[in-house]
Amino acid sequence: MSNDEKLKQQCTNCKEIKLLNCFSKSGKPNGRLRVICKQCEQVRQNEWRKKFPEKPQAVFQKWRDKNYHKYKAQVKLRNAVVAGNIIRQPCQLCGKSKVHAHHSDYTKPLEVMWLCPKHHTAWHRVFKAEEGIDG
């Protein structure tokens, strides 16, 4: 197998051989890529949304009802960022600019840790493992 072939993968949906950057990560810790290319996945998701238009909203509504205090904190923070009262900061651990706002205490909606997606996910993984609770 040549080096060029190692940088490509066949989509199981459209059967085209594409560069690896045309495939999303699988979401599993083994670092593998999905078997369907991003383009086919986007088409699949759009078709699903047309077929079941109420499902995504229902899932969000269920989460919002169950976690209303979290939702309200997120809305307050989002409004403060949009108004310019709070400035989005780089990740506190690595300095990346694409960040999530992590609430350690939802009763203080404007007090957040700015973490990149990688460190935010890691924080939750460690916190849940150590404390056994939803952070």
| Domain match, 18 and 61 both | no
Residue 2 pLDDT > 70, yes or no? no
Q: What is the per-residue pLDDT for 118? A: 93
Which residues span the domain enclosing 107? 54-131
Are both 59 and 43 inside the same structural domain? no
- Give the alpha-carbon dihedral of 69, 70, 72, 77, to 10 degrees: 140
Query: Pick from 94, 132, 87, 90: which is nearest to 110 by CA?
Result: 87
Which tens digits make up the pLDDT trace of 69-103?
999 999 999 999 999 999 999 999 999 999 999 99
Q: How far apart are CA 25 and CA 30, in angstroms?
A: 10
This prediction has a pTM of 0.61
φ, ψ (nearest 5 deg) of residue 110: -100, 0
Q: Are 99 and 58 in the same domain?
A: yes
| CA–CA dist 81, 94 (Å, integer) | 21
